[in-house]
Structure 1
């Protein structure tokens, strides 16, 4: 992966908002304090895909966090369609067949595929309830190893697993972590978290931050503080 030249690129602001108008307003408030934005289900299903394309045309980076998982042909063709939106990253779940199909769909485009190992809202009891026999750290390591074998571009995982994931995927693939909270911030539904500074020290390439920025009285100032902490 190429080195990140702009320190602002390490922060991905999660636009988990109800509509495009709210997202547009937030992007304007943040201004040049951020360069990278995540669009997930909530906004994506409310016009967010076209909004992502508009951001890309403005020179901003976008991350489509859609966590695709389906039969191989469906994933491959879906990724091929999404590759036309100018996004930088797209997520799929870290199942081998799904990852291989996504890479086929992205071939020839600039879209990078990130694999989600275990959701950061999961702890051991959640994993057991979902039927997984492996402890969360072992499940994350297994999926990271399978992702590397598939040739995936990067991994989405909890910050607390970043060091073990790096061992599995090597130095040349990306690690992107949600569940990042500035010191003193409300954890919300996240259970495996780090501060931005701790995340950078762990060798994480990008942190994804939503509510601490989107819910702030001054989102621009919070974004600037996170970038500064990571630097």
Structure 2
């Protein structure tokens, strides 16, 4: 089985990003580059990180009208990311257009609910029900729209996978059992995420802020 760990390297410092990625490259399956990195370095920065030789997960969470998102995906296509995120709440037409515009080798996955949110945050935005219910609703929408999978927390991944056995499930908000959770509210351990059905897990600070990032990545891989 290939390594399911994608390390989240969300920093505007390109040299630091490359240094971390180089240290952990033998114990992770890919690199997740998010909005902070992309805002600082754009497509040239992504190409620079791709030289390390690991698959790139471009986590930009695109969310706009269908035509705009499709054009953005087309603009990103030369990068040939392994994974690209859009927001499920953009609606079916947006999801369909994003998938249609993506390169054949790119998995388009829909972000259901950020792991920094909980039920009270949903209520504040006018969404009724639990986080679990919201994720399941948006997972169904993503499946109907024909994208490859979803991003959800480990708390919901088992239910989403049961409803969509062939889906591709990305689980962020992964933390070690004895580690700090930071600004995340719905977290699970790496092992629990994989046991629940995660296709890949996204691990950031437990690796990138460790004294020895390579040892941290190796230790997490050992639990899987």
TM-score (norm 2): 0.94
**Aligned residues of 1:56 and 1:87 also touching (Cα < 8 A):** no
Per the alignment, in what secondary structure is the counterpart of residue 160 of structure 1?
coil
Q: 2:156 matched to 1:161?
A: yes
Question: Superposition RMSD on alpha carbons, in Å?
Answer: 1.4
Secondary structure of 2:32's counterpart equals: strand
* Match in the other structure for 2:191: 197
* Residue of structure 2 equivalent to 1:112: 107
1:114-162 deviations in whole A, cap 9, x for unaligned? 0000111111111111121232211111100011111110110010101
Give the conservation status (yes or no) of the 8 Å contact 1:137–1:161: yes
Residue 192 of structure 1: SS of its match in structure 2?
coil
* Matching of residue 102 in structure 1 with residue 98 in structure 2: yes
Contact 1:53 1:87 in 2 (8 A): no
SS in 1 for 2:176: coil
Q: Distance in 2 between the 1:167 and 1:180 partners?
A: 21
Query: Moved runs in structure 1, 4+ residues, more than 6 A?
Result: none
* Aligned partner of 1:83 among 77, 82, 85: 77
Aligned partners of 2:126, 2:24: CA distance in 1, in Å? 41
Equivalent in 130, 135, 138 of residue 130 of structure 2: 135
| Structure 2: unaligned runs, 5 residues or longer | none
Structure 1: gaps of 5 or more residues:
none
- List per-residue Cα deviations over 1:169-202 (Å, max 9, x = no partner): 2x22211100100111110011111111111111
Aligned residues: 222
- For 1:226 and 1:49, locate their aligned partners in 2 and report how far apart those are by CA, in whole Å: 30
Residues 148 and 168 in structure 1, CA contact (< 8 A), matched pair in contact too: no
Query: What SS class does the counterpart of residue 66 from structure 1 fall into?
Result: strand
SS of equivalent to 1:221: helix
TM-score (norm 1): 0.91
Counterpart CA distance in 2 for 1:67 and 1:217 is 30
- Relative to structure 1, the CA distance from residue 43 to residue 147 in structure 2 (aligned partners, 3 Å threshold; closer, same or farther) is same
